[in-house]
Amino acid sequence: MRFLFTLATMMIVICPASAQTATDRTGDAKDQSIYGTITEKTPSIPQYFSWINNTNEGSTEAQTLSNLEFFKWLHDEYGMRLGIYAWDAGNIDSANYYGNMQSDKFKCQFPNGWEGIAELAKSFSCRLGLWGGPDGFGDTPEQEQARIDLLVSFCRDYGLQLFKFDAVCTQLRDEKQDSFAKAMTACRQYAPDLVVLNHRLNLGHAKPHATTFLWGGAETYIDVHMRNRSTAPHNRAGALSRGLPPGLQRLTEDHGVCISSCLDFWEDDLVLQGFNRSLILAPEIYGNPWLLRDDEFAKLSRIFNLHYRNRDILVNGIALPEKYGMHAVSRGDSSTRFITLRNLTWEPVTYDVTLNEEIGLTDTGSVEVRRYHPSESILGSFDNGETVQVEVPPFRSYLVMATTKPCQEIGVVGCDYEVVRDTEGKPVLLKLLGLPGSSTTVSLKAGGQTFGKAFVDGQESDAFLADNATIQFPGQPVAVPWHQLLAELKRVDVPADAQQLYEATCFSAENNALEVQSLHRSGPTAIPQVQKARDAFFDQELFWRRGIWDKYMFDGNPETFFSHLHYGRDTRLDGGTLRVDMGEVATVDRLSLDALLPSNDPNQPPMQLTAELSKDLTTWTTVTLTQTKKDNGKAQIAMIGKNGGSCELVDADVFTWEVTLSDAPSFRYVRISNAPERVAEFDASLNGERLDASEWTATNLFAPFSAANPVAAWQAEVEIEDNAAEGSYLCVALDGKHGANKAFAALRVDGEWVGASQRAPSFPCVAWEYPARSQDGSDTHYFPVTDQMRGKTVEVVVLGLSGGKTAITPHTWITTYQSPLESVSIRLEK
């Protein structure tokens, strides 16, 4: 045994918002000295907190420094301001544990203390925050004072601005309410702007010392704690449907936006968090934002920057009339309003925005209207009281500004655009956006800045600064509309190729941790700070010891493995099947599989495993792998209880199953229905040479076809245009009840079977923090449109599986994540 560590699940308790109220602190100086300077009218503080980057065992010094370097890079490159970097659980306190800075645990995690961390945060005007429990005051006056001194030292010595006190640690004992009040009062002598978050606590008469209550009680980890309740073209429709705190109270906390899983449309989620609810912590994110694509960090910074520059007026909000759709809000002052709209339907929705007191705009004069999201556009200047029509795309949020003042944001008239960088001391970078093959004349709105040079796609352009530049967008025209309904599926008999269709999805989807899926979605990074933060997350021992990435079966490391267990629970569907896709047909004369079993486990593994081999998902050949125990085959594995908690490394035996294949058959797919719990290695070789497995993939949770046993089917033919927009994908939406994981979709394309690569809610996975959610209806399956599909008739098939329900209405849409616009880069120098 090398070390002891703690793993625990987060218990979620949903508390009705009406049961709690935020304290309105607009009182005198005496009140502020006790409760601090934060009020309902305090501008929002942008925050990141580290939950999901680490779980209850806590972070480390190295991991924290890597994360802070990432945010410092965002600050230096894009001007993004992060007000608070908050450690979540496990750094001082943890579940049912109160710690201090003298413990062996703390010194192991932070061998150099927090001084260097605080200095790095301070270097880009960021302060620290900390998760903890509300108690820890012990049973004697000395123990109470020690806890108070510890909390005070965080504010005095490290500039801490936030405490997140959570019932996951413990509740506050009734007799310690005065102790809590005393501690918070003492802390505010050094941090009068201290923010104290109340997460599910009964603070009694000490409640006024907490700044916020937890609105709704929900975490926002997509497809783990928050998921879609209806069909949609992405996984964040459930998050976009969140409502408003009672009375638009800002001294509450909505748990921010999780950027870790199911990343597409994260920006729509963040726009609503920052500009719609606009709470005391906004914009607020958590998880692993370094998993975004390199081109998305500019958008992340733009949302933060736009909010920060307008933070003083965003404290004032009004709920808009019903004609503006669900949960629409206008924020600002008499001359400038930011309006957030949303559309949670499959078709675009047009709203009429009236430029008068209806949206809170009471100043007279000409009104400039700009859209800031989904893309940016100067919509024009209008008379006060005039109505402007805006179209909100399906399942998106929308941010528009109306102002009677000169706008200080840089912009472009004549086309949509994105502000990539507008950072003091650096050239301004813009992306002009237009339909492929189109042209337009543009003019620059400099927002009060003066530029001496302009470069269009790297070529100097005097015309751009002279406001008469013609921009030609590259590419060939694309099919329009790029978002449309293609077909309603009709009920048919279960097809003869049901097995091939089912297996296509089982081999195409992922059962990896959702963070691994996010990494695959975004691809490699060219930014050192991003790579370092990614490495710090994926290389932490408590990640790889969970066995939640299929690559561990192919990495040659005997201690890593891919498992179907999560916190000791078997997460397979109907017994599951280990499936391996070698990516291409290969000739093999030997297969072997290594698995790990605790040395003290009385259950011995089976002597034989049955594997099925296929090159085309149609014809399967059965072979038998025979088990032998390796000489000196030992490893260590983490045994994790069903409810989390303290876990120790235990010794494990390594078992090998192998088979020599006569005549060296050729195949691509392997499925093993009775695979061991922890598969450490899977090898295929020819003539003693191990095949390259770097591109191999595996799933281990989907049911064997014999258990899936389709009992119903729906089908339709759809035509994919030859010039379908780049980035298009098909959405097969299953409205109605089908049973949890009891309906699968797949395609037939040119006589081949194409499985769904993703689903909302996500396919079952071996999760990092908590098991992924599923539901018994309204799943949506996604298929990227490939070159193989263009100009073709594609058959869409839905299979209803045994034990499920058939009360569904499937329909298929084609859509894109972003509008399929080409871009032209602009560089502006002073």
As given in the structure block, the two tokens for residue 345 are 């339907």
What is the pairing mode between strands 127-132 and 162-166? parallel
What pLDDT does residue 21 have?
A: 39
Give 379-404 pLDDT, tens digit per residue. Answer: 999 999 999 999 999 999 999 999 99
- Dihedral angle over CA of 138, 141, 144, 149, nearest 10: -150
CATH topology of domain 487-504+707-816: Immunoglobulin-like (2.60.40)
CB 119 within 8 A of CB 69: no
What pLDDT does residue 632 have?
A: 59
What pLDDT does residue 566 have?
A: 81
What pLDDT does residue 568 have?
A: 75
> One-letter amino acid identity for 363?
D
Helical (H) or strand (E) element with 67: helix 61-78
How many other C-beta atoms lie within 10 A of the C-beta of residue 722? 11
Q: For residue 698, give the nearest of 803, 549, 798 by alpha carbon.
A: 549
* pLDDT of residue 7 exceeding 80: no
Give the mean model confidence (pLDDT) for residues 283-302: 98
Q: For residue 561, give the nearest of 571, 569, 572, 553 by alpha carbon.
A: 553
Rounded Cα gap, residues 20 and 16, in angstroms:
8
Give 750-769 pLDDT, tens digit per residue. Answer: 999 999 999 999 999 998 99
What pLDDT does residue 202 have?
A: 95
Give the mean model confidence (pLDDT) for residues 647-660: 88
As given in the structure block, the two tokens for residue 562 are 């891919």
What is the pairing mode between strands 281-287 and 45-49? parallel
Q: Half-sphere exposure (CA, 13 Å, Cβ side) for 424? A: 5
Query: What DSSP designation does 226 have?
Result: B
What pLDDT does residue 630 have?
A: 63
Rounded Cα gap, residues 667 and 583, in angstroms:
10
DSSP string spanning 346-403? SS-EEEEEE-SGGGT----S-EEEEEEESSBEEEEEE-TT-EEEEEEPTTEEEEEEEE
Q: For residue 121, give the nearest of 50, 186, 53, 192 by alpha carbon.
A: 50
* pLDDT of residue 656 exceeding 90: yes
> One-letter amino acid identity for 607?
M
Query: What DSSP designation does 205 have?
Result: G
Q: For residue 512, give the nearest of 560, 471, 562, 561 by alpha carbon.
A: 562
What pLDDT does residue 31 have?
A: 56
Give 769-787 pLDDT, tens digit per residue. Answer: 988 878 999 999 999 999 9
Rounded Cα gap, residues 646 and 5, in angstroms:
6
As given in the structure block, the two tokens for residue 49 are 């907190």
* pLDDT of residue 643 exceeding 50: no
Give 317-339 pLDDT, tens digit per residue. Answer: 999 999 999 999 999 999 999 99
In a 10 Å sphere around its CB, with 0-12 CB exposed, 13-18 middle and 19+ buried, how is residue 737 labelled? middle
Rounded Cα gap, residues 696 and 711, in angstroms:
32
What pLDDT does residue 601 have?
A: 85
What pLDDT does residue 599 have?
A: 87
CATH topology of domain 552-701: Jelly Rolls (2.60.120)
- In the numeric block, the tokens 């603070």 are attached to 203
pLDDT band, residue 29 (cuts 50/70/90): very low
Give 124-164 pLDDT, tens digit per residue. Answer: 999 999 999 999 999 999 999 999 999 999 999 999 999 99
pLDDT band, residue 634 (cuts 50/70/90): confident
Q: Half-sphere exposure (CA, 13 Å, Cβ side) for 763? A: 27
pLDDT band, residue 4 (cuts 50/70/90): very low
pLDDT band, residue 586 (cuts 50/70/90): very high
Instruction: Name the β-bridge partners of 760.
Output: 780
Q: For residue 211, give the nearest of 186, 228, 193 by alpha carbon.
A: 193
> One-letter amino acid identity for 359?
I
How many other C-beta atoms lie within 10 A of the C-beta of residue 27? 12
In a 10 Å sphere around its CB, with 0-12 CB exposed, 13-18 middle and 19+ buried, how is residue 819 labelled? middle
Give the mean model confidence (pLDDT) for residues 598-618: 92
Q: Chain-wide mean pLDDT for the chain?
A: 93
pLDDT band, residue 793 (cuts 50/70/90): very high
Give 232-245 pLDDT, tens digit per residue. Answer: 999 999 999 999 99
CB within 8 Å of 80: residues ≥ 6 apart: 71, 74, 300, 301, 304, 305
Give 165-192 pLDDT, tens digit per residue. Answer: 999 999 999 999 999 999 999 999 999 9
Give the mean model confidence (pLDDT) for residues 504-529: 98
Give 469-497 pLDDT, tens digit per residue. Answer: 999 999 999 999 999 999 999 999 999 99
* pLDDT of residue 352 exceeding 70: yes
As given in the structure block, the two tokens for residue 671 are 């499925």
Give the mean model confidence (pLDDT) for residues 283-293: 98
* pLDDT of residue 644 exceeding 50: no
pLDDT band, residue 449 (cuts 50/70/90): very high
Give the mean model confidence (pLDDT) for residues 650-679: 94
Share of the chain above pLDDT 90, in %: 88
* pLDDT of residue 28 exceeding 80: no
What pLDDT does residue 286 have?
A: 98
What pLDDT does residue 33 have?
A: 66
Rounded Cα gap, residues 213 and 201, in angstroms:
9
Rounded Cα gap, residues 569 and 576, in angstroms:
13
CB 772 within 8 A of CB 228: no
Give 297-308 pLDDT, tens digit per residue. Answer: 999 999 999 999
Rounded Cα gap, residues 90 and 695, in angstroms:
36
CB within 8 Å of 271: residues ≥ 6 apart: 303, 340, 373, 397, 399
Rounded Cα gap, residues 828 and 830, in angstroms:
7
pLDDT band, residue 19 (cuts 50/70/90): very low
What pLDDT does residue 732 have?
A: 98
Give 717-751 pLDDT, tens digit per residue. Answer: 999 999 999 999 999 999 999 999 999 999 999 99
* pLDDT of residue 521 exceeding 90: yes
What is the pairing mode between strands 257-259 and 281-287? parallel
Of 53-57, 100-104, 599-603, 658-662, the one with minimum mean pLDDT is 599-603
Give the mean model confidence (pLDDT) for residues 248-265: 97
Helical (H) or strand (E) element with 340: strand 336-343
What pLDDT does residue 631 have?
A: 59
> One-letter amino acid identity for 149?
D
Rounded Cα gap, residues 583 and 696, in angstroms:
6
Share of the chain above pLDDT 70, in %: 95
pLDDT band, residue 602 (cuts 50/70/90): confident
* pLDDT of residue 15 exceeding 90: no
Domains 487-504+707-816 and 552-701 share a fold: no
> One-letter amino acid identity for 48?
Y
DSSP string spanning 432-454? EEE-TT-EEEEEEE-TT---SEE
pLDDT band, residue 637 (cuts 50/70/90): confident
pTM recorded for the entire structure: 0.94
Query: What DSSP designation does 327 have?
Result: T
3-state SS of 80-107 is CCCCEEEECCCCCCECCECCCCCCHHHH
As given in the structure block, the two tokens for residue 713 are 């089917």
Give the start-to-end residue ranges of the domains of the chain.
487-504+707-816, 552-701
